[in-house]
Structure 1
Amino acid sequence: MNTTGHSRQVRGRAAVAVSMLLGLLATLALPQAAAVAGQPVHPHGATEIATPLRVDGERIRDAEGRDVVLRGISVINKRDPFYPDVDASDFRRIRDLGLNHIRLGISWEGIMPEEGEVDPGYLREIRRIVRDAGRGGLLVILDMHQDLYGGPRGNGAPDWAYRPSGCPHIELAEPTGAWAANYASPEVNCAFTRFWLSSTLQGYYTDAWMAMAEAVGGEPNVIGYDLMNEPWQGYIPPVLFESRYLYPSQARWLEAIREADPNGIGFVEPNVLKSVTMASPPPAGMLPDNSVYSPHLYGPWDFTSEIEILQETRRLADVNFAASRKEAASAGVPLWLGEWGVFTTATGAADYVTHVYDMVDDALAGTAIWEYGDSAYSPFDTETWEPSPLYDPVLRAYPEAVPGTLRDIDYDAERRTLDLAWSGGEGGVALLRAPAERYPEGVAVSGTDQWRWDPRRGLVMAEVPAGDGTLAVTPVGP
Structure 2
Amino acid sequence: MSRRSGRLGIVAATAVALVFGTSLLSPAGPAGARPADPPQLSREGRWLVDQHGRIVLVHGQNLVWKHDPYVPPDSPEGFTATDAEWLAEHGFNGARIGTLWAGVTPDAPGQVDEDYLDDWQRVVDLLADQGIWMQFDFHQDMWHETYGGEGVPDWAAERPAPFDLHPPIKLSFPATYITPELATVYDRFWANEDGVQDGWASAWGAVAKRWGDQPYSMGYDLINEPWAGREWLACPITGCASSYRNEFQPAYERATAAIRRSDPDGIVWYESQLLANQVPNSRFGPVDDGQVGYSWHSYCPFGYLDSQGLPVGVGGCRDYDDTHHRKALEQAETMGATNLMSEFGATDNTELLAIDTAAADDHFTSWMHWAYKHWDDPTTADGRQGMFADDADLSSVKAEKLRTLVRTYPQATAGTPVDLSFDPESGAFRYTYEPATGIEEPTEIYVSPLHYPDGPDIDVAGGRVVGTADHHRILVQATGTEPVTVTID
TM-score normalized by the length of structure 2: 0.82
1:14 match: none
> Alignment partner for residue 390 of structure 1, among 401, 413, 417?
401
Deviations 1:244-293 (A, max 9, x none): 2212221221232232222211121111121122411322x136321111
For 1:226 and 1:433, the matched residues in 2 are separated by 26
Tell me which residue corresponds to 2:200: 205
- The CA distance in 1 between the partners of 2:62 and 2:46, in whole Å, is 23
Residues 1:66 and 2:54 aligned together: yes
The Cα offsets for residues 222-265 of structure 1, whole Å up to 9 and x where unpaired, read as 12111111111112573221012212221221232232222211
Q: Number of aligned residue pairs: give it.
A: 436
In structure 1, C-alpha distance between the alignment counterparts of 2:397 and 2:31, rounded to whole Å: 25
Query: What is the aligned partner in structure 2 of residue 27 from structure 1?
Result: none
By how many angstroms is 1:313 displaced? 5.2
Specify the code of the residue in structure 1 equivalent to 2:290. Answer: D
Does the residue aligned with 1:235 lie in a helix, a strand or coil?
A: helix
Q: Would the aligned equivalents of 2:142 and 2:150 in 1 still touch at CA under 8 Å?
A: yes
Shift of 1:109: 0.8
Give distance in 2, aligned partners of 1:390 and 1:82: 27
Identity %: 24
CA shift for structure 1 position 159: 1.4
Aligned: 1:408 with 2:419: yes
Which residue pairs with 1:294 in the alignment? 295
Which of the residues 473, 476, 479 maps onto 1:462? 476
Q: Give the 3-state SS of the residue equivalent to 2:464 in structure 1.
A: coil
Answer with 418-427 or 200-209: which moved more: 418-427
How much does 1:68 deviate?
A: 1.2
Conserved 8 A contact 1:302-1:342: no
Match of 2:117 in 1: 123
Find 2:171's aligned residue among 170, 173, 181.
173
Structure 2: stretches of 5+ with no match in the other structure: 1-8, 73-77, 233-239, 375-382
Q: 1:354 is matched by which residue type in structure 2?
A: A
Does structure 1 residue 222 correspond to structure 2 residue 228?
no
Moved more, 213-222 or 136-145: 213-222
Aligned counterpart, 1:8: none
CA distance in 2, matches of 1:466, 1:292: 33
1:276 aligns with 2:283: no
Choose the corresponding residue for 1:260, options 250, 259, 262.
Answer: 262
Residue 23 (structure 1) aligns with: none
Contact 1:127 1:215 in 2 (8 A): no
Partners of 1:458 and 1:326 in 2: how far apart?
Answer: 34
Q: Please state whether the residue corresponding to 1:359 is helix, strand or coil.
A: helix
Report if aligned partners of 1:164, 1:194 keep a CA contact under 8 Å in 2: no
Give distance in 1, aligned partners of 2:222 and 2:119: 20
8 A Cα contact 1:432 1:461, kept in partner:
yes
Structure 1, 232-241 or 66-75: larger mean CA deviation: 232-241
What CA deviation, in whole Å up to 9, does each residue of 1:313-354 have, x standing for no partner?
55444443342233224444322111111421xxxx111111
Q: How does 1:19-418 map to 2 (within 5 A)?
A: 31-32=10-11, 33-34=13-14, 39=23, 45=29, 51-84=39-72, 85-116=78-109, 117-152=111-146, 153-168=148-163, 171=169, 173-174=171-172, 179-198=173-192, 200-236=195-231, 238-283=240-285, 285-286=286-287, 288-300=289-301, 301-302=303-304, 304-308=307-311, 309-312=313-316, 315-344=319-348, 349-374=349-374, 376-383=384-391, 384-385=393-394, 386-388=396-398, 389-418=400-429
Please list the CA deviations of residues 120-144 of structure 1 after superposition, one character each: whole Å capped at 9, or x if unmatched: 1001111111111111221111111
State the Cα deviation string for residues 425-475 of structure 1 (Å, max 9, x = none).
Answer: 115410111122333433223122333345x51111112245342222313
Q: Which residue of 1 aligns with 2:75?
A: none
Question: Bigger relative contact order, structure 1 or 2, given CA contacts below 8 A and separation 6+?
Answer: 2
SS in 2 for 1:72: strand
Q: CA deviation at 1:412?
A: 2.4
Deviations 1:60-105 (A, max 9, x none): 2112111111111101101111012311111111112211111111
- The alignment's TM-score, normalised by the length of structure 1, stands at 0.84
For residues 452 and 262 of structure 2, the distance between their equivalents in structure 1, rounded to whole angstroms, comes to 42
Structure 1, unpaired ranges of 5+: 1-29
Structure 1 counterpart of 2:433, from 422, 428, 444: 422
The RMSD of aligned alpha carbons is 2.5
Query: Is the 8 Å Cα contact of residues 192 and 232 (structure 1) preserved in structure 2?
Result: yes
Distance 2:86 2:32 in 1: 17
Moved more, 258-267 or 98-107: 258-267
The C-alpha deviation readout for 1:160-188, integer Å capped at 9, x for no partner, is: 101331354774734xxxx1111101121
Q: Report the alpha carbon displacement of residue 42 of structure 1 after superposing the two structures with TM.
A: 5.6
Partner of 1:18: none
In structure 1, how many angstroms separate the alpha carbons of the residues matched to 2:322 and 2:476?
Answer: 33
- Counterpart in 2 of 1:433? 446
**Worse-matched range after superposition: 399-408 or 379-388:** 379-388
User: Partners of 1:41 and 1:160 in 2: how far apart?
Assistant: 53
Q: What SS is found at the alignment partner of 2:70?
A: coil
Secondary structure of 1:262's aligned partner: coil
1:268/1:287 contact within 8 Å kept = no
Does the 8 Å contact 2:314/2:352 carry over to 1? no
Secondary structure of 1:327's counterpart equals helix
Q: Name the SS for the 2:95 alignment partner.
A: strand
- Alpha-carbon displacement from aligned partner over 1:5-36 (angstroms, at most 9, x marks no partner): xxxxxxxxxxxxxxxxxxxxxxxxx8232366
**What letter matches 2:432 in structure 1?**
A
**Alignment check: 8 A CA contact 1:435 1:457 kept:** no
Q: Cα gap change, 1:450/1:320 in structure 2, threshold over 3 Å: closer, same or farther?
A: closer
Q: Do 2:63 and 2:97's aligned partners in 1 also have CA atoms closer than 8 Å?
A: yes
- 1:279 alignment partner, SS class: coil
Tell me the distance in 2 between the aligned counterparts of 1:318 and 1:458: 30
Once the two structures are overlaid, the 10-residue window that deviates more, 30-39 or 331-340, is 30-39
Alignment partners' CA distance in 2, 1:209 and 1:338: 19
